[in-house]
Amino acid sequence: MQSERERRFVGPRRGQLLFILSFLMLSAVLLSLIGQQTAWVKKTSFFAQPRFWPAVGVGGMVLFTALHLWRLPFRRIERADLREALRWGAGLEFALWFMGYVMLVPWVGYLPMTMIFVPLLARRMGYRRPRMMAISFGFAVLTVLVFKGLLAVRIPGALLYEYLPDGLRSFAILYL
């Protein structure tokens, strides 16, 4: 049965308790590591210490998140909370896609990996028609041309390029 405070609560309930608990744990971990990550310098004024303002910020995160948890009218995790957590986790899939791309570029090369990755990601997002696959492939090639040719971004050559013949290898390292 809901209490009067729970009934009068205005705002979305789903996921709020999980968010507060995870944010409180993260900020408590950050506060516990502040001594290792910052320094206290002798003969420096209190407010100019390298540890002072990070400690104020992270301490405020812990304090205000704990106050939010304390004043929260409901403290039970329900099915709606778990469904909301799954929706949050769905966004992490694309971070994993990107990390896989970043890890494979030094092995396969910028152009080939981009030409593989962009159509795969477009397919994952639901664009399965041949026209959309062609557009995604063209976008991949255009992206490489803009970054390597126009903007002159220096990306190291891939290990796969080492197996190419000498003339083609130097071209691939410079332009692909």
CA distances from 113 to 67, 109, 167 (A): 48, 6, 21
The whole-angstrom separation of Cα 163 and Cα 85 is 46
Summary mean pLDDT of the chain: 86
The whole-angstrom separation of Cα 137 and Cα 119 is 6
pLDDT tens across 81-116, in order?
A: 888 888 888 889 999 999 999 999 999 988 899 999
Any residues with CB less than 8 A from the CB of 41 and at least 6 apart, and which? 49, 50
The whole-angstrom separation of Cα 111 and Cα 117 is 10
pLDDT tens across 111-132, in order?
A: 899 999 999 999 999 999 999 9
Whether 111 and 35 share a structural domain: no
| Rg, the chain, Cα only | 25
Any residues with CB less than 8 A from the CB of 139 and at least 6 apart, and which? 118
Whether 165 and 101 share a structural domain: yes
Report H helices in the chain: 4-8, 16-32, 34-37, 52-71, 79-90, 92-108, 110-124, 130-144, 166-175
- The parent domain of residue 65 ranges over 4-77
pLDDT tens across 4-20, in order?
A: 666 666 666 777 888 89
Determine the pLDDT at residue 9: 63
Whether 125 and 148 share a structural domain: yes
Out of 77, 105, 133, pick the residue that ends a domain. 77
On whether the CB atoms of residues 148 and 155 are closer than 8 A, the answer is yes
Whether 105 and 149 share a structural domain: yes
User: φ and ψ at 4, to 5 degrees?
Assistant: -65, -40
pLDDT tens across 73-82, in order?
A: 777 888 888 8
